[in-house]
Chains A and B, each alone.
Chain A
């Protein structure tokens, strides 16, 4: 069953791993640059000493405003994970009627779904936890320069929050396809909708 799950989802897993590696590399490179500018310009020391650092702050902000804007797009990642990993988990089987093949081998449906969900969950955690940690580190200098750790949109990107959102979107993608029998094309809209609704709430 573990082999089967891997065999069925290895393309998504490998594509996801590649995307997350590229993203991680981007975050590491740009993050190092930001960190060195943050410390090198004296902004870190200035903020630590509680001085008035407006000039340094605005210089730093100006230099990295593009990156900050780009960082905002990280907010869609959990939705994408839900879309590509969560939604097809059961729905693809039902669409192709292959559940009738796999459910009539000698294992119970309970075992089938348990293994599948557990592995997808593990895979999701494996990529989200490091990425969330990396994003938090990456945003560190920008947070400190403006004190916006808990601003909407920034808070969502850091610590355990994106992990939680990703799991939520995984589950919502899966449930939508399973319970509401949505067609694949509608997933993008509906997973992101649920994501947006949850964030507003």
Chain B
């Protein structure tokens, strides 16, 4: 399987501030990836680097097999919806479609027209007068009409109400289900994306903290609840991501490869949201399965996670 996105030591520096530092990951083609992280973690920078709006300070990012650049052949294969859904607000939806037709050699006008008709979006009103949900749908239609192989969306649902969020994500999933489009959409909340994505990229403080297939990640992490025990007496072979103790009870979120056999522990499965929140609360912990070649900054993965022996 080829990679839709492949970052190697990708870094972006603004003055003395690193927006992204030594990020390496691979997003296989055909996946729907959630790009998650706290505000300021570097999500927007990463997407802008992927779509060629920014150039890396160091490292590289390959998009659909070639370096991300300001080239028409590559831009034509990538759809992008930027943060806050920028559109020319005095343009009507029809005029935006005309823009799409003029500026793209390949633009499926009929596809966009169909979407607008289904969603009841008026073609003849300035898009500035539409609701936020409708504007997001217009931007999505513009990006989808390029028939992109890779679709990048930067916090597309952040400003929408819950109903519009669900409608937007449903529309997105219905559209990409018919094609082999690879999708990466960012959000600072995983809750929105939990049902739609099958790949997770968690950024934290300019670094990739977790990257991998959602199923594998969920299978490889368990929540253990048991009687209170000393932090030094924890089952062997487990990597503790997050531990919390009360007087009577210890709760551990662990990374594991095998089954937990000790009957003292009650083992719970995790939701993706639990997993993401646990890692976000422990910025020093990391889980980087898959074909990742650690960069020079290997301390990230090894140092802070405690391997504790029973």
Interface residues of A (CB under 8 A from B): 1, 3-4, 7-8, 96-98, 100-110
Contact = CB atoms under 8 A, between A and B. Distances in A.
Given A98-B88, A104-B53, A105-B75, A1 B103 contact: yes
B14 to A, nearest CB: 14
Contact of B76 (A98, A103, A106): A106
Interface residues of B, number: 31
A94 to B, nearest CB: 10
B82 interface: yes
B102 A106 contact: no
Interface of B: 48, 51-53, 70-72, 75-76, 78, 80, 82-84, 86-89, 91, 95, 98-100, 102-106, 139, 142, 146
- Chain B contact residues, majority secondary structure: loop
Contacts of B98: 3
Given A98-B86, A109-B70, 19 more contacts: A1-B102, A1-B103, A3-B102, A4-B102, A7-B95, A8-B88, A97-B86, A98-B88, A101-B82, A101-B87, A103-B53, A104-B78, A105-B75, A105-B100, A105-B103, A106-B104, A107-B75, A107-B103, A108-B71
A97 B88 contact: no
A104 B76 contact: no
Contacts of B72: 106-108
A179 B75 CA distance: 26
Contacts, number: 66
Contacts of B80: 100, 104
B87 to A, nearest CB: 6
Contact of B82 (A97, A105, A108, A109): A97
Contacts of B87: 98, 101
Contacts of A107: 72, 75, 103
A92 to B, nearest CB: 10
A201 B71 CA distance: 42
A89 to B, nearest CB: 14
Contacts of A4: 99, 102-103
B172 to A, nearest CB: 17
Contacts of A104: 51-53, 75, 78, 80, 82
B75 A106 contact: yes
Contacts of A3: 98, 102
Nearest to A111: B72
Q: Which 4 A-B pairs have the closest CB atoms?
A: A105-B103, A100-B82, A97-B86, A106-B76
